[in-house]
């Protein structure tokens, strides 16, 4: 598992690396992962990407991980020794169109030991139906890994990358006839009773247990934290109290509160009406333990022909915002004796055949191939 970091202003290095990948036999595909800050212009990227015959997929993300450290700018190139069957999707379409498009390109992509890289525009309202279409098509036997692309400003912008350029409100996938070992964990723990989500509108939760959602959330958080949660301090405290969606025999799916609205609680990703949830809490130690658990899971399932020294990391940007300087402990934990590289995403995508395909929040996913 090779990776190369190019600084934001070093266009010559980027061109040289891509040119080298084009002529070497060991590179069959490329992950092109770019940080949002001071990134290359769309025009420049289009001119570079259009010349490549090697399949390319990726996106623009809040930050990158390289050599066990965070990078606010620049490009991370990950040359792959296996070919990706790539496909771009316009997320303004509907699930039936997604399935027809998958059948047209991926009709023979059905090896049970296969893997799928998935990068989606994190701000698209249609990403959940798209993920459902992927799962309906590829099923549980395929391993999925990827994340939500975009800016931490949460302003919509082109952020999905393939050989044709940079795209907004889109998703890109790359299927490989290759197994990937995955580990997924978060380190958040429930402390409330089970709550039923009784009214929603997309990512907005309006009521819980048939009461205003904020009233229920506030009562529980106030008691646990000894505070008076309100509109002025919501962002400060809510990052420590995400919701967890109960899943049978699988890691609880975390949902990250984004802001308090007059109608209820707005989350980064949707929570379906009728879901059963709990309020979660964690501290620096529990989150680092979650990262160690994800590493243990990933390494416990590797094959002898997989790279024993590297880890591809999809970590949530909100974990960094919560942990701040203590995030270094998480990186140190997963980097111990390993070369770690990857992205900080707005939503994590991972599934190794043990549950329905989900978009996670505040979660870490590690992959080995």
Could you give the CA distance from residue 253 to residue 38 in angstroms, rounded to a whole number? 33
Domains: count for the chain: 2
pLDDT, tens digit (0-9, with 9 covering 90-100), for 205-254: 999 999 999 999 999 999 999 999 999 999 999 999 999 998 776 678 99
- The phi and psi torsions of 16 (rounded to 5 degrees) equal -65, -40
The burial of 146, by beta-carbon neighbours within 10 Å (0-12 exposed, 13-18 middle, 19 or more buried), is given as: buried
- The phi and psi torsions of 70 (rounded to 5 degrees) equal -90, 145
The domain boundary, picked from 242, 257, 281, lies at 281
Could you give the CA distance from residue 359 to residue 147 in angstroms, rounded to a whole number? 8
Q: Say whether both 259 and 240 belong to one domain.
A: yes
Whether the per-residue pLDDT at 355 is higher than 90: the answer is no
Q: Say whether both 79 and 194 belong to one domain.
A: no
Rounded to an integer, the average pLDDT of 352-360 is: 77
Rounded to an integer, the average pLDDT of 97-105 is: 96
Could you give the CA distance from residue 65 to residue 67 in angstroms, rounded to a whole number? 7
Could you give the CA distance from residue 193 to residue 220 in angstroms, rounded to a whole number? 10
The domain boundary, picked from 214, 247, 281, lies at 281
β-strands 181-185, 310-316: how paired?
unpaired
Q: Say whether both 123 and 171 belong to one domain.
A: yes
Residue 269: give the domain boundaries. Answer: 189-281
Query: Which residue, among 263, 267, 209, 210, has the nearest Cα to 238 in the 3D structure?
Result: 267
Q: Say whether both 224 and 313 belong to one domain.
A: no
Q: Say whether both 241 and 308 belong to one domain.
A: no
The predicted pLDDT at position 250 comes to 65
Please give the torsion angle defined by the CA atoms of residues 53, 54, 57 and 60, in that order, rounded to the nearest 10 degrees.
Answer: -80
**How would residue 351 be classed by pLDDT, with cut points 50, 70 and 90?**
confident
How many helices (DSSP H) and strands (DSSP E) are in the chain? 9, 27
CB contact at 8 A, 33 and 5: no
**How would residue 111 be classed by pLDDT, with cut points 50, 70 and 90?**
confident
Mean pLDDT of the chain: 94
Q: Say whether both 41 and 159 belong to one domain.
A: yes
Residues pairing with 348 in the sheet: 147, 360
The predicted pLDDT at position 309 comes to 94
Q: Say whether both 201 and 232 belong to one domain.
A: yes
CB contact at 8 A, 35 and 74: yes
- pLDDT > 90 fraction of the chain, expressed in percent and rounded: 90
Q: Say whether both 208 and 310 belong to one domain.
A: no
Q: Say whether both 89 and 160 belong to one domain.
A: yes
Q: Say whether both 73 and 180 belong to one domain.
A: yes
**How would residue 352 be classed by pLDDT, with cut points 50, 70 and 90?**
low
Q: What tokens does 180 get?
A: 């990937």
Q: Say whether both 97 and 121 belong to one domain.
A: yes
The domain boundary, picked from 281, 302, 337, lies at 281
- pLDDT > 70 fraction of the chain, expressed in percent and rounded: 98
Q: Say whether both 230 and 358 belong to one domain.
A: no
Could you give the CA distance from residue 309 to residue 203 in angstroms, rounded to a whole number? 39
Q: Where are the extended beta strands (E) located within 180-263? A: 181-185, 189-190, 195-201, 204-208, 211-212, 243-245, 253-255, 257-261
258: number of CA atoms within 13 Å, CB side? 18
């Amino acid at each position: 598992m090779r990776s190369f970091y190019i600084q934001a202003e070093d266009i010559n290095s980027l061109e040289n690396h891509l040119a080298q990948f084009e002529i070497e036999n060991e590179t069959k595909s490329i992950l092109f992962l770019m940080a949002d800050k001071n990134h290359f212009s769309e025009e420049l990227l289009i001119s570079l990407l259009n010349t490549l015959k090697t399949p390319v997929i990726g996106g623009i993300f809040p930050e990158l991980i390289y050599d066990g450290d965070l990078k606010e700018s620049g490009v991370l190139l990950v040359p792959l020794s296996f070919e990706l069957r790539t496909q771009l999707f316009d997320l303004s379409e509907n699930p039936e169109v997604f399935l027809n498009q998958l059948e047209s390109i991926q009709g023979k992509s059905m090896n049970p030991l296969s893997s799928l890289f998935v990068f989606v525009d994190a701000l698209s309202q249609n990403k959940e139906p798209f993920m459902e279409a992927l799962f309906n098509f590829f099923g549980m036997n395929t391993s999925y890994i990827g994340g939500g692309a975009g800016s931490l400003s949460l302003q919509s912008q082109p952020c999905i990358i393939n050989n044709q350029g940079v795209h907004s409100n889109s998703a890109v996938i790359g299927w490989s006839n290759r197994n990937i070992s995955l580990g997924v964990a978060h380190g958040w723990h429930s402390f409330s009773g089970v709550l039923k989500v009784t009214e929603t509108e997309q990512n907005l939760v309006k009521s819980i247990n048939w009461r205003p959602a904020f009233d229920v959330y506030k009562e529980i958080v106030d008691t646990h934290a000894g505070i008076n949660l309100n509109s002025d301090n919501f962002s400060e405290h809510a990052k420590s109290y995400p919701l967890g969606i109960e899943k049978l025999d699988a890691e609880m799916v975390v949902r990250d509160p984004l802001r308090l609205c007059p109608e209820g609680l707005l989350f980064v990703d949707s929570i379906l009406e009728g879901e059963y949830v709990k309020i979660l809490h964690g501290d620096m130690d529990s989150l680092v333990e979650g990262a160690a658990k994800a590493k243990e899971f990933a390494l416990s399932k590797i094959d002898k022909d997989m790279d024993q020294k590297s880890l591809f990391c999809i970590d949530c940007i909100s974990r960094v915002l919560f942990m701040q300087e203590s995030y270094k402990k998480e990186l140190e934990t997963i980097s111990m004796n390993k070369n770690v590289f990857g992205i900080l995403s707005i939503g994590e995508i991972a599934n190794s055949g043990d549950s329905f395909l989900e978009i996670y929040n505040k979660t870490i996913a590690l992959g080995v191939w």
